[in-house]
Structure 1
Amino acid sequence: MNEVQNLYRDSKHSLSSKVQKVRTAAWHYRKGGIQQVKLWRWNQVVQQPIPQRKTTLPEGGLRRDYPRLRNAWIEKTQQAQAWAPASETHNYRNVFAQGWFLGSGDDNPSLPSAWVSTVFGEKNFSCDPALQVMHKGSAQQHHQLLLLGQATDSAKKLRNSQQVAHELYSVLKSKRDSWADFDEAVTWLGGRFVVIARHGAETRVHVDAMASRSCYWGTTDSGEVVLASHSALIAEAVGDLSSTRAKWVLNHPDYHNPAGVYLPGTITSHDRTWLVFANCCLTIRQRTAEHKRFFPPRGSNPVPALSVEAATEAYLAEVRFQMDAILSSAPASIIALTAGSDSRAILNASLDLLQDAGTSAMTYHFFEKDAGHTRIDLLGANRLAEEAGLKHRILNLQPWDPKARFAKLYSRSFPVWARFGALARACYEGLSAEEELIIGVGGEVGTAFYLERDHPAVTPEVLAGKFTQDNFQYDAQLIAEFERYMAYTQLAPEHAGEIDLYDLFYWEHRMSGWAAYWYSELDFGATVALPLNSRRVFCAMLGVPFEDRVRKSVYGTLNSWVDIAAGSTNPGGKN
């Protein structure tokens, strides 16, 4: 009973104190308006006792040979040397960074001399040593598997690519006629990866949930199907560097986008290059290739109806697993932080993990242009980083300089289209190659990017209107391109598993092209990690009512849990 009485007395005292403060504030407002209220609050702050340092500086602390000062100098220097920028580590030589190529060798492009090779079936696989590769089986065996990049599985508690590759290879060896079990095993993986699996003479190629680690393919004049990380490598292998379709889009007088233009439909940087899109896979049999949707599985609905609280619990669990795996895989990490809701949600979901790992926050800004939207991001992110107790690193974006050393490296890897070269350079010259760069893109798959959904059917004309709001949307050639895209990705109600086609279109088209191209540019430096890149995250967020998706109720619920936790430790609230 005494405990109850004490709790009642404390809460009553806290409430009385808050009521008194509100009354005092109201009195000051009546007397002098908001300025007097601010002055009153300021006087309250300055009257608070100044916290004292735990120890005072001893007499010997005034000299340069003071041990603690010398140790601080040494530690600072060592840290600067240990985390040298990627540009110093690679010396502007890592063309096609974290890239790879799979071909017979007869039509191979000119690959960097530092790349390493192995045999995969009747083909040769070559890659940048900086790319993490797991290789299971051998060319002499009936089964062989390559896992490129980072992969996890939260349900099976597989926290790294080595464990995932072992699991996938076990499924592959037990394969009979259908790829269904293998497809299912890949479906729920998180991370950023490409999987290439060979079963006899047939090869299956999967990309991750957002196709964030790109896989391009093409067919040579001799009929061989080749695969690669970069469109330019495929173009060189097939002997056709033309980019007529891409240049038609990029130079179209009616196509404008303040956020930057990108390529629509199946169009890639080169005319004879194709892309494997999210939720689709590529099957290669002899000299033929078939691009086909595998998710959602035909006749199934992988998106259960969920309450907002249940969806938030699923979001929290998956993001925390992915973040824990990411932070355990590299010696240092940086989280790209903005003032947006995606950043705040990831920060709240994994705050303790970020703090334990000593993760830094990073925000970029065009200081020369002082763009309003990035300035808002910078200031908001700085406040979030301060509240979270994270160091905040600022990258200053410079105007593009075609004569810079980075420009030569960049244009060799991406000769046709520049997605965000200025940011790629800032990260290459400002971040370490040993660090992992955590980016929170993908949340808008769940929070309903396209709000207007009043068309009776999703047609090529509708998709053209979603791709661009200007007059380019009415171009007959663009509409024909989206008709080709819908056929290539099987974007149709009978293949959607009750997922809205607007959501699938944003998920697959924007993430596979606009976003993935950006990550490929960033691969010159730090390794990109995507904690939201999991179908478990997307299916949970897609499972709540549409109105709650638009309101971003999952994020709101997560934020409310933060507030409740803070209130439970501070019953009096913030003054």
Structure 2
Amino acid sequence: MEHMSEQFPREPTVPDLANFTTLFHGGFILSAVDVFNAHSSPVISRIEETFARHDIDGFALCVHPDAAVTTFSREDRHAIAVGDIFDNHGGSVRDVLGDLLETRALPATLGRTDLGGRHAVILVEDGHFTVFNDPFGSRSVHYHLGEERAVSSHAVLLAELLGAKRGEQVGPYMQSEDYSRQKVRYLPGNITSWAKIRRLPPNHLFSSRFNATARYWPVEHWSESSEDVLFGHLDRAFDMLTTYLRGRYDPVLGITGGSDTRTVAAGFLARKCTFTGVTWQNFNFVDRERKVVEKICATHDIDHVYAKLDKNDVALEALEVNAHYAGGEFLAKAPRARAMQDAFSKMAPASLPKAFIIGYGGEIIRAFYAKKGRHHKAALSAGEMSQLYRYTDFSKENANFVRARFQDFRETAHMDKKSLRGFPPHDIFYWEHRMGMWGAATLDTFDPVMPALVGINSRKVFETALRLPEKRRLNKDLQMRYIAMQVPDLAAIPLI
């Protein structure tokens, strides 16, 4: 390929295994017992030493010691939820898991669920498993295309277990000038650094029986909804999230001049859910934003710290390496993990573990990829996906590589007209690719500092937003109207 950039290391990342449990907070790996017992590596040895192992119907499930595990069984069928999980409908998670075990129409039943948090759910029956994740896709799930059926939260865990080979074209692509010029760097399609390991898109399940993915949402054809319905679902999502957090975590929220983080802050303030605010002083921070941030915090008596990336702090080098490793090694680096550690060191001690509530979700609501007239399209071609992914022109070789990956993704993620049922394809592509791939990996990089959850993570919220006319979502006015309903004086402070 073209001239190589020094942006990325040529050799695989070497993590600090002495601090292994900080690497994969909330993580898991599942494989057949004989597959797990047959493989060994330093990473797998550390999993055996530190993770909790559950043997379920011929499978070995190893789970991070801090991860919540919710189980439900009926006869020889088992459902296991790993991670933070709650029902945005207000019901019982165990009841939802029971319904999923009972149904003979799993995709349709699953498509109507709305389980918030950051989690993966595994269903085991007849020597096979099915796995899916939360609506946003914030809990990364990876699966293997080979004969050895296995899934994991982090790609590197699966790669270590199976001795997976790295993709021959992926490394050179990440070393290229084209990739280094991308404003947001992540891989095209659902590939990883390893040849046969793939990321599971949101709204999809992976079945070991068929060694394939299946789309389970949307269930119904598109029809127009209303702003009132959307705001009702947002209210319920914030009700459920703040209720879940109380007594479990001490929340940390980003405070910026933008609308996405402010929407989340409004949801918390309206429900009197206290939190610590954090603002990055790097990463496009401007002086006029400081005045807005400080006014928000002063008006609402928010404890607040600034996070600053110190590139010369050698003590944080290992943290950044670990964060890069946990994120799957395809993000340029993990500087925000360093900055978050700086912020964490300035925060007052708390009796509960801190959790970063990242301001994701709002961009799905406000049609981030939308262009005038594009909502009339029924599906996107691989070339159109490539155009949305790329910020600049690529060399012919890289352009062909990217296009081929999106052709694969179009099939794997079932991005055809029939499957999308009239919903705007560019919005679904943004949700399932930009957020489900890059966004989820970004959360993985925060875990070595503190666990992270998405501020807006509700399928009903996203679905209802996509049912609104596009012109109602193309700017930030929709979010500001919701903020004004929640906390009027917060909406009066200008956006940056």
Residue 118 (structure 1) shift:
0.9
Aligned to 2:211, what secondary structure does the other structure show?
Answer: strand
Question: CA, structure 1 residues 561+116, in 2 after alignment: closer, same or farther (shift >3 Å)?
Answer: closer
Larger Rg: 1
CA RMSD between the two structures: 2.8
Of 233, 237, 256, 1:314 maps to 233
Separation (CA, whole Å) in 1 of partners of 2:310 and 2:408: 38
Provide Cα deviations, 1:505-542, integer angstroms capped at 9, x if missing partner: 00100111110001011112322122311111112222
Separation (CA, whole Å) in 1 of partners of 2:246 and 2:120: 21
Of 467, 472, 479, 2:389 maps to 467
Higher mean C-alpha deviation, range 472-481 or range 533-542: 472-481
Matched, 1:392 2:316: no
Separation (CA, whole Å) in 2 of partners of 1:550 and 1:209: 22
Matched, 1:339 2:261: no
Amino acid at match of 1:448: A
Question: CA, structure 1 residues 278+412, in 2 after alignment: closer, same or farther (shift >3 Å)?
Answer: closer
Residue 199 (structure 1) shift:
2.5
**What residue is the counterpart of 2:335 in the other structure?**
422
Question: CA, structure 1 residues 406+562, in 2 after alignment: closer, same or farther (shift >3 Å)?
Answer: closer
Of 29, 37, 52, 1:106 maps to 37
Separation (CA, whole Å) in 1 of partners of 2:381 and 2:145: 29
Matched, 1:170 2:98: yes
User: Is the 1:191–1:322 Cα contact (8 Å) retained in structure 2?
Assistant: no
Matched, 1:525 2:449: yes
User: Is the 2:252–2:355 Cα contact (8 Å) retained in structure 1?
Assistant: yes
Of 45, 57, 76, 1:121 maps to 57
Aligned to 1:538, what secondary structure does the other structure show?
Answer: helix
Separation (CA, whole Å) in 1 of partners of 2:229 and 2:389: 33
Aligned to 1:409, what secondary structure does the other structure show?
Answer: helix
**What residue is the counterpart of 2:428 in the other structure?**
504
Separation (CA, whole Å) in 2 of partners of 1:416 and 1:271: 14
User: Is the 2:205–2:213 Cα contact (8 Å) retained in structure 1?
Assistant: yes
**What residue is the counterpart of 1:296 in the other structure?**
218
Separation (CA, whole Å) in 2 of partners of 1:566 and 1:464: 38
TM-score normalized by structure 2?
A: 0.83
Aligned to 2:294, what secondary structure does the other structure show?
Answer: helix
Aligned to 2:302, what secondary structure does the other structure show?
Answer: coil
Question: CA, structure 1 residues 439+408, in 2 after alignment: closer, same or farther (shift >3 Å)?
Answer: closer
Residue 191 (structure 1) shift:
1.6
User: Is the 1:436–1:527 Cα contact (8 Å) retained in structure 2?
Assistant: yes
Separation (CA, whole Å) in 2 of partners of 1:168 and 1:308: 28
Question: CA, structure 1 residues 451+409, in 2 after alignment: closer, same or farther (shift >3 Å)?
Answer: closer
User: Is the 1:428–1:524 Cα contact (8 Å) retained in structure 2?
Assistant: no
Of 18, 21, 24, 1:96 maps to 24
Separation (CA, whole Å) in 1 of partners of 2:452 and 2:116: 13
TM-score normalized by structure 1?
A: 0.72
Aligned to 2:394, what secondary structure does the other structure show?
Answer: helix
User: Is the 1:119–1:125 Cα contact (8 Å) retained in structure 2?
Assistant: yes
Amino acid at match of 1:422: P
Of 197, 205, 209, 2:135 maps to 209
Residue 269 (structure 1) shift:
2.1
Residue 443 (structure 1) shift:
1.0
Matched, 1:441 2:360: yes
Aligned to 1:270, what secondary structure does the other structure show?
Answer: coil
Aligned to 2:262, what secondary structure does the other structure show?
Answer: helix
Residue 214 (structure 1) shift:
0.5
Separation (CA, whole Å) in 2 of partners of 1:553 and 1:272: 43
**What residue is the counterpart of 1:363 in the other structure?**
279
Separation (CA, whole Å) in 2 of partners of 1:340 and 1:179: 39
Separation (CA, whole Å) in 1 of partners of 2:488 and 2:322: 50
Question: CA, structure 1 residues 543+529, in 2 after alignment: closer, same or farther (shift >3 Å)?
Answer: same
Matched, 1:147 2:81: yes
Separation (CA, whole Å) in 2 of partners of 1:378 and 1:563: 20
Question: CA, structure 1 residues 244+402, in 2 after alignment: closer, same or farther (shift >3 Å)?
Answer: farther
Separation (CA, whole Å) in 2 of partners of 1:305 and 1:154: 22
**What residue is the counterpart of 2:69 in the other structure?**
133
Matched, 1:183 2:95: no
Separation (CA, whole Å) in 2 of partners of 1:281 and 1:310: 28
User: Is the 1:340–1:377 Cα contact (8 Å) retained in structure 2?
Assistant: no
Amino acid at match of 1:178: A
Residue 311 (structure 1) shift:
2.7
Percent of aligned pairs with the same residue? 20
User: Is the 1:453–1:502 Cα contact (8 Å) retained in structure 2?
Assistant: no
- Higher relative CO (Cα under 8 Å, sequence separation at least 6) belongs to 2
**What residue is the counterpart of 1:56 in the other structure?**
none
Separation (CA, whole Å) in 1 of partners of 2:483 and 2:145: 50
Of 430, 450, 460, 2:369 maps to 450
Separation (CA, whole Å) in 2 of partners of 1:236 and 1:91: 17
Amino acid at match of 2:184: G
Provide Cα deviations, 1:72-96, integer angstroms capped at 9, x if missing partner: xxxxxxxxxxxxxxxxxx9676333
Which structure 2 segments of 5+ residues have no match? 1-17, 492-496
Number of positions where the alignment pairs a residue of Structure 1 with one of Structure 2: 454
Separation (CA, whole Å) in 1 of partners of 2:406 and 2:457: 25
Aligned to 1:482, what secondary structure does the other structure show?
Answer: helix
Aligned to 1:472, what secondary structure does the other structure show?
Answer: coil
1:3-402 aligned at under 5 Å gives the runs 94-103=22-31, 104=33, 105-108=36-39, 110-111=43-44, 112=46, 113-137=49-73, 141-155=75-89, 157-158=90-91, 163-164=92-93, 166-175=94-103, 177-180=104-107, 182-184=109-111, 187-219=113-145, 223-257=147-181, 259-285=183-209, 288-297=210-219, 300-301=220-221, 304-315=223-234, 317-353=235-271, 356-366=272-282, 372-373=284-285, 375-399=287-311
Residue 477 (structure 1) shift:
2.1
Aligned to 1:521, what secondary structure does the other structure show?
Answer: helix
Question: CA, structure 1 residues 473+528, in 2 after alignment: closer, same or farther (shift >3 Å)?
Answer: farther
Separation (CA, whole Å) in 1 of partners of 2:188 and 2:182: 16
